[in-house]
Amino acid sequence: MGQIIKNKYLILRRLSQILILFLYFGANYFGWKILVGNLSFSKFLNTIPLTDPYAFLQMVFAGAIISADLIIGVLVILIIYGLIGGRAFCSWVCPVNMITDLAAWVRRKTNHEKDNLISTQKIKKFRYFFAATLLLISAIVGAAAFEFISPIGIFTRGVAFGIGFGWIWLFVIFLFDAFVLKNGWCGHICPLGATYSIIGAKSLIRVYHTKENCTNCGNCLTICPENQVLSPVINKKSDFINGIECTNCGRCIEVCDDNALKFSIRYLIKQKGAENEKNPTK
């Protein structure tokens, strides 16, 4: 039971990811109208459109005529993730996260977390360049280029409509993450993740760190898939994790045994949080 409470975010995230896939599956196979479509575009309760913002951008670049539904869908997504979620899409919605988390788990279990074939320092900003390049390529080839290779699309479509040979691509991502580059796909390549980083740059819900409680054990830095967002803050200052690449997955909160990390609301709750943390309940 203690384990369940301790890992509540992880469990909730998995439930959320699987529930979303299940709703897509049910929409096709049983005709449910709760969440119809897939992560490129869906209709919630048969009325509210939800559009993949990066697919939308690619379509704009490819020169498609954009329908009103798509624009509304993008606005809904921008509001949800821009205000509340940050990169929560990546850790709470995207099913590829389950694959890459599995790869990260394999890395931890086999004690080769830092064995990378590629220097993580060097490809820090690669995903943003890649996202921009694919937009240009969409314009050149006249089609949304990333949508042809997107493992997110292949995974969600695969669940709802049949996967074909798509599993190979998902397996490649697992191998890449587990043996080539730690957190390689989600943390260094995925242009959709890069897009959500930018969308959620100013989002409200963020992890808050209390320096007074921190024992500098490094648990959070080990578990974090984007630990460049933690390192400027952990054991240095009491502050929000402001790095735009934080996915709000909450793993750092779970592995912290010193109550030094928690979800909080940026801009609205400021120093007040720090005051409360001085008397930890544990």
Partner 1 sequence: MDNKRRSFLTSIIQASAAAVAAGSVVAGFVEENKDKPLTLRPPGALKEEEFLKTCIRCGLCVEACKNRENKVIIDGKEIETLKLAAPGDKAPIGTPYFIPRTGPCFMCDTIPCMYACPTGALTPDMCKNDKGEVSIDYAKMGVAVIDPSSCIAFWGLQCTACYRACPEMDKAITIEWRKNERTGKHAYRIPVVHEEACTGCGMCEMACVTEKPAIKIFPREVFLGKAGDRYVKGWDKKDQERVKNASINTTTQTGRSKKSAIENLNEGIQWDK
Say whether residue 53 binds partner 1 (CB under 8 A).
Answer: no
Say whether residue 125 binds partner 1 (CB under 8 A).
Answer: yes
Two structure tokens written together for 7? 């890992």
Binding piece for partner 1, criterion CB under 8 A, among 85-93, 143-151, 240-248, 257-265: 143-151
Say whether residue 153 binds partner 1 (CB under 8 A).
Answer: yes
- C-beta closer to partner 1: residue 122 or 282: 122
Torsion region of 248: left, alpha or beta (phi above 0 gives left; psi -120 to 50 gives alpha): left
Please name every residue paired with 35 in a beta bridge, in sequence order, or none if there are none. Answer: 44
Applying CB under 8 A, the site for partner 1 has a residue count of 62
What are residue 234's phi and psi, to 5 degrees? -55, 125
Say whether residue 29 binds partner 1 (CB under 8 A).
Answer: yes
Element (H, E) at 62: helix 53-62
Binding piece for partner 1, criterion CB under 8 A, among 5-13, 101-109, 152-160, 210-218: 152-160
Say whether residue 36 binds partner 1 (CB under 8 A).
Answer: yes
Binding piece for partner 1, criterion CB under 8 A, among 23-31, 102-110, 200-208, 257-265: 23-31
Query: Contact with partner 1 (CB under 8 A): which of 10, 13, 20, 38?
Result: 38
Say whether residue 71 binds partner 1 (CB under 8 A).
Answer: no
In sequence order, which residues have a C-beta less than 8 Å from that of residue 4 and are 6 or more positions away? Answer: 11
Query: What percentage of the chain's residues is helix, strand, coil (to nearest 5)?
Result: 55, 10, 35
Cα 229 from chain centroid (whole Å): 14
Binding piece for partner 1, criterion CB under 8 A, among 5-13, 100-108, 132-140, 173-181: 132-140
Two structure tokens written together for 41? 């575009």
Least CB distance to partner 1 at residue 51 (A)? 7
Binding piece for partner 1, criterion CB under 8 A, among 38-46, 201-209, 211-219, 268-276: 38-46
Measured distance CA(108)–CA(137) in Å, rounded: 37
- C-beta closer to partner 1: residue 158 or 243: 158
Least CB distance to partner 1 at residue 29 (A)? 8
- C-beta closer to partner 1: residue 75 or 269: 75
The closest of 195, 21, 28 to 94, measured between CA atoms, is: 21
Say whether residue 96 binds partner 1 (CB under 8 A).
Answer: no
Least CB distance to partner 1 at residue 43 (A)? 7
Least CB distance to partner 1 at residue 116 (A)? 15
Strand arrangement of the beta sheet that strand 35-38 belongs to: 35-38, 41-44, 48-51
Q: Using an 8 Å Cβ cutoff, are 207 and 264 in contact?
A: yes
Measured distance CA(269)–CA(60) in Å, rounded: 38
Q: Using an 8 Å Cβ cutoff, are 152 and 75 in contact?
A: no
Two structure tokens written together for 29? 């196979």
Binding positions for partner 1, rule: CB under 8 A: 27-29, 31, 36-38, 40-43, 49, 51-52, 55-56, 59, 62-67, 69-70, 73, 122-126, 129-130, 132-134, 136-137, 140-149, 153-154, 157-158, 160-166, 168-169, 189
